Amino acid sequence: MEVRKVAVLGAGLMGHGIAQVAAQVAKYEVGLRDVKQEFLDKGMEMIRYSLERFLKKGAISEREMKEILGRIRPTLDLEEAVADADLIIEAVPENAQLKKSILAEVDKLVKEEAIITSNTSSISITELASALRRPEKFCGMHFFNPPQLMKLIEIIRGARTSDETVNTIVDVAKRMGKETVVVKKDSAGFVVNRVLVPALNEALYLLWEGVADRDDIDKAVQLGLNWPVGPLKLLDYVGLDTTLAIAEVLQKELDPKYQPCPLLRQMVRAGLLGRKTGKGFYDWTETK
């Protein structure tokens, strides 16, 4: 199956970046849908900001920037976004019921041959596929933040995902300039978050228990493990709410040992979610 048109559902932290990559690198026509005009406006503003940075670096020209923006069609109308799309990428918040509700709605509107994917970072693909009439045409397509720069896409099989669906999404990812890994078994957290989230949670416990302060924890991991940023700063980039949601899935689906650190819950309750809210372990108000 050849993909020509893509619909991205959700213009937030991940959605706008996915839409940009699809239009900029793969040169797809992209429908970008969200539920409020302010969310769409913010998403398009972030795309323009990102493209302007590429322009300043000389990576794209003014003409190319206009062409990329011209390929992205923001809309509040779900049917308009998905009706003629060959590929739908759902990128709404990490909540299973919300995702299933939207996927079920999408399923009624898309053409029969369309492939539907979810950008979930931890939720069972088989569970999400239960909302669809054609689970064989559904898989996970997990991008990493920011999608414009991060090279990896995890492609996750559900229990009934077909080989043809996986092969098509591998081809789409390559056209987007990405490297892929295929997760053969639908297991919570997939590959990256199964390794990363327990490490981030352990850094939280170090701070919670008073073993070391914030800067020394980040410095130790950055220099001792050669991470590009420390775990607490990385939590701010990922979003503390997103990390909590993934940790809760790991705890529920795999083992109680993945229990989130109380500090993580406390900060999420306080609205200190990291870069997206301006404050987390660091103050992002100026950079935001």
Domain ranges of the chain: 5-183, 194-269
Query: Considering 118, 121, 124, 201, which one is annotated as catalytic?
Result: 121
Tell me if the domain spanning 5-183 has CATH number 3.40.50.720: yes
- Contact predicate 234/201, CB 8 Å: no
Tell me if the domain spanning 194-269 has CATH number 3.30.930.10: no
The reply to whether 142 belongs to the active site is: yes
- Reference 19, options 65, 64, 71; nearest CA is 71
Report pLDDT digits (tens) over 138-194. 999 999 988 999 999 999 999 999 999 999 999 999 999 999 999 999 999 999 999
CA gap 260, 208 in Å, rounded:
12
Single-letter code of the amino acid located at 225: L
- Contact predicate 51/65, CB 8 Å: yes
Average pLDDT over residues 229-247: 94
Could you tell me the pLDDT band of residue 287, with boundaries at 50, 70 and 90?
low
Strand positions, DSSP E, the chain: 5-9, 29-33, 72-75, 87-90, 115-118, 138-143, 152-156, 179-183
- Contact predicate 81/7, CB 8 Å: yes
Query: Considering 90, 94, 154, 248, which one is annotated as catalytic?
Result: 154
Query: Considering 122, 142, 201, 248, which one is annotated as catalytic?
Result: 142
The sheet carrying 87-90 orders its strands as 72-75, 29-33, 5-9, 87-90, 115-118, 138-143, 152-156, 179-183
**What pTM was computed for the model?**
0.89
Query: Considering 119, 122, 124, 193, which one is annotated as catalytic?
Result: 193
Percentage above 90 pLDDT, the chain: 92
Report pLDDT digits (tens) over 195-211. 999 999 999 999 999 99
The reply to whether 193 belongs to the active site is: yes
How many degrees, rounded to 5, is the angle at CA 46 between CA 118 and CA 98?
Answer: 30
CA gap 185, 179 in Å, rounded:
19
Strands 152-156 and 87-90: unpaired
